[in-house]
Chains A and B, each alone.
Chain A
Amino acid sequence: MTIEVSTNNEAATIKIIGRFDFSSQRDFRNAYQNQQQNVSEYIVDLSQTEYIDSSALGMLLLLKEHVESKNAHSKLFQPAPEIRKILTMSNFDQLFTISD
């Protein structure tokens, strides 16, 4: 798994390529914690994410907590159908905006 981080104006995009699971913890946390003050939107790009497990869902919750403490918002971007199914089953679409 690799994580690519890019910023554009006040939006930070964290792109997860490959498997998003228990072993991604440290890298993912570093990706959002090291952002500058003026980021108002965090986008998690799931377009190239092959797999997520419950630990990954947990990490998204941690991101949400972080984002809210900075008075910013977050959204999940282009999850593949398999990933989308998992997000729907966990009803995470009630917690996160999912944009295509």
Chain B
Amino acid sequence: MNSGLALVVDDEPTNRFILKSLLKKNNFEVVEAINGEQAIDLFLEKDPDIIFMDIMMPVMNGYIATEKIKSLSKEKFIPVIFLTAMTSDESLNKCIDSGGDDFLTKPFNKTILMSKIQSMRRIQDLLTQTTRLKDMMQRDEEVAEKVFNTAITTANDQPDSLRTILQPAGLFSGDMILTSYTPAHDLDILVGDFTGHGLSAAIGALPASEIFHAMSKKGFTGPQILERINDKLNLILPTGMFMAAQFVRIRHELDHIEACNSGMPDILILDGDKRNIKHRIPSKTLPLGITTDFTTTPNFQYIPINTGDRVILFSDGAIESRNNEGQLFGQAQLESALQTSSNEFAIDSGLSSIKSHNHECPQDDDISLIEAICSPRLLPSWDPEDTNNKDQHNNGNFSLDEISMHLKYSGERLRLAYPIPAIINFIKSSPGFDKHYQALFTIFTELFLNSLDHGILKLDSSLKQTASGFSEYFTQRDMRLSKLNDGHIHISLKSIPKPYGANIHIIIEDSGAGFNYNNSDMTQSITNQNSGRGINLVHELCTSLLYQGNGNIVEAIYELKH
């Protein structure tokens, strides 16, 4: 069995001869060089598996030749064993310093020579193994990255005034950034930080992304989305793996945001004009995927905002980097950079600040920074007229069937059920109706929430006029909802075919006390108070909006035109 190719470098022919014979007896093929320079040439030409190098040679000595050879063989391990008559510590050290792996003193002992060759071989095997593993890992990471990008990133909506900075520490970032518009054109943002890196993070990111995008587009609430993701991750991730998360829903009215922070640095809200931090949302719950006992509802915060305000999210990589002196960058420094920024996006200043702190120090952790400027440019423009004109490319005026749907929610079920996603699903899957789902979604949501909030829960809309009242409103809402065990809301949808398409009748009845709608002042003030832009939009979308009964029944008629 062939032991490989050995390169013997020595200016003395006798020395070369002795070593060559020994090696040949042990099944080595041998090539010879008479000085360091020739050794380099032969190394490049013949690709030996092991090199025996003398030190004192004309033209080029063994130290220099070894240094050169080692620098040329970075990927493979080619052991270099020095042949030396000198036994001083200094000269032996110099052998190792110049890159040599071992040394043999002359005159050489055959047994010692063979043992050294064997140990070199063991090292070589180890290295081959690790290189192979490294290659496999690299390939896996490349696959993960591809999957990640296709399945997750391309599913994201890309609003104009949203800036995302994603800087992975390695090939692959363990941070996940998801964005999606709800049917009402709220903007949902989820930033997830998984334990681990690379492939192990991708495993959790795939289902999290699927659930997020699907549920957001179906009109589910923030707490519902997070709780479902938590359940899924709990199921599939092994103990010890989890996802820290920041969730923000920027409402399409641009008057408030809903947010929840599970194990990540504070979410910041910066004032639109002064750019100072006017609100922060710290972590209140465990990260996702740890416990089944996970409710986010009490930890969701509702923060009023003004147009132009900025929402900033970042993962801990942005604040925990260290420079070469070991100094921590820190949250205070990042916040200072964000607040004093004169860039269009404050996070660009944040990133420069991090980079100049780190200097040449390699990045330890993934860095992610997201900034949303809460202006109308953040949301896709949605003209109610648009929906009707969308069907111009539609083929033919097929007649719509008469359909009707009734949903009754009473007592406890009211507390637990949220009917909107189911209704939207139904509409989206009905031919002819599907293109109008956004308008219908708005009408349903607005009227249902009004019935629930005012009819059943008896909340006072005027609370929402002030910043503190805002939080108070939603806190009260959560509390009353959690205690709800009576009352009912009946929802019905009926379509009546017309020449132009259909009239959609939406009737919502609640068991509440209603209000005096005959008093037009009252109706106007209710309209002004209730959700501001929301109910006005409903008025715009519908050809008629009437209250009946004692004010606890509302009927909206929407003209669905082909």
Spell out A's residues near B (CB within 8 Å).
22, 53-55, 57-59, 61-62, 65, 89-92, 94-95
Set of chain A residues within 8 Å of B283, measured between Cβ atoms: 89-91
CA distance A89 to B316 in the complex (A): 11
Output the residue of B284, B285, B286, B291 with the most chain A CB within 10 A: B286
Using known A-B contacts A89-B283, A91-B283, determine if residue A61 contacts B290 with beta carbons closer than 8 Å.
Answer: yes
How far, in Å, is B364 (CB) from chain A's closest CB? 9
Contact A89 B263 (CB under 8 A): yes
For the complex of A and B, the 8 pairs showing the least CB-CB separation, nearest first, are: A58-B240, A54-B195, A90-B263, A62-B240, A91-B286, A61-B240, A58-B195, A89-B283
Spell out B's residues near A (CB within 8 Å).
193-196, 239-242, 244, 262-265, 282-287, 290-291, 365
CA distance A55 to B195 in the complex (A): 6
How far, in Å, is B326 (CB) from chain A's closest CB? 10
Contact A59 B240 (CB under 8 A): yes
**7 A–B contact pairs at CB < 8 A?**
A53-B365, A54-B196, A58-B195, A90-B244, A90-B263, A91-B263, A91-B285
How far, in Å, is A90 (CB) from chain B's closest CB? 4
Set of chain B residues within 8 Å of A62, measured between Cβ atoms: 239-240
Set of chain A residues within 8 Å of B244, measured between Cβ atoms: 54, 90
**In the complex, which of the residues B239, B262, B265, B282 contacts A65, with contact meaning CB atoms closer than 8 Å?**
B239
Set of chain A residues within 8 Å of B287, measured between Cβ atoms: 90-91
CA distance A95 to B286 in the complex (A): 9
Write the chain A residue with the least CB distance to B197: A22
How far, in Å, is A28 (CB) from chain B's closest CB? 11
CA distance A8 to B262 in the complex (A): 37
**In the complex, which of the residues A58, A94, A95 contacts B241, with contact meaning CB atoms closer than 8 Å?**
A58
Write the chain B residue with the least CB distance to A60: B240
Contact A89 B290 (CB under 8 A): no
What would 11 more interface pairs be, CB under 8 Å, given A57-B195, A62-B239? A22-B196, A54-B242, A54-B244, A89-B264, A89-B283, A90-B287, A91-B263, A91-B286, A92-B286, A95-B286, A95-B291
Set of chain B residues within 8 Å of A92, measured between Cβ atoms: 286
Write the chain A residue with the least CB distance to B283: A89
CA distance A62 to B193 in the complex (A): 19
CA distance A30 to B262 in the complex (A): 30
Contact A90 B240 (CB under 8 A): no
Set of chain B residues within 8 Å of A58, measured between Cβ atoms: 195, 239-242
CA distance A54 to B192 in the complex (A): 13
Set of chain A residues within 8 Å of B265, measured between Cβ atoms: 89
Write the chain A residue with the least CB distance to B285: A91
**In the complex, which of the residues A55, A61, A65, A91 contacts B196, with contact meaning CB atoms closer than 8 Å?**
A55
How far, in Å, is A76 (CB) from chain B's closest CB? 15
**In the complex, which of the residues B196, B241, B286 contacts A90, with contact meaning CB atoms closer than 8 Å?**
B286
CA distance A61 to B234 in the complex (A): 13
Set of chain B residues within 8 Å of A59, measured between Cβ atoms: 240
How far, in Å, is A79 (CB) from chain B's closest CB? 16
CA distance A22 to B287 in the complex (A): 18
CA distance A55 to B196 in the complex (A): 7
Write the chain A residue with the least CB distance to B262: A91
Write the chain A residue with the least CB distance to B237: A58
How far, in Å, is A92 (CB) from chain B's closest CB? 7
Write the chain A residue with the least CB distance to B286: A91
Write the chain A residue with the least CB distance to B266: A89
CA distance A95 to B285 in the complex (A): 11
How far, in Å, is A83 (CB) from chain B's closest CB? 13
Write the chain B residue with the least CB distance to A58: B240
How far, in Å, is A64 (CB) from chain B's closest CB? 8
How far, in Å, is A8 (CB) from chain B's closest CB? 27
Set of chain B residues within 8 Å of A57, measured between Cβ atoms: 195, 242
Write the chain A residue with the least CB distance to B242: A58
**In the complex, which of the residues A54, A61, A90, A91 contacts B239, with contact meaning CB atoms closer than 8 Å?**
A61
CA distance A95 to B293 in the complex (A): 12
Set of chain B residues within 8 Å of A89, measured between Cβ atoms: 263-265, 282-283
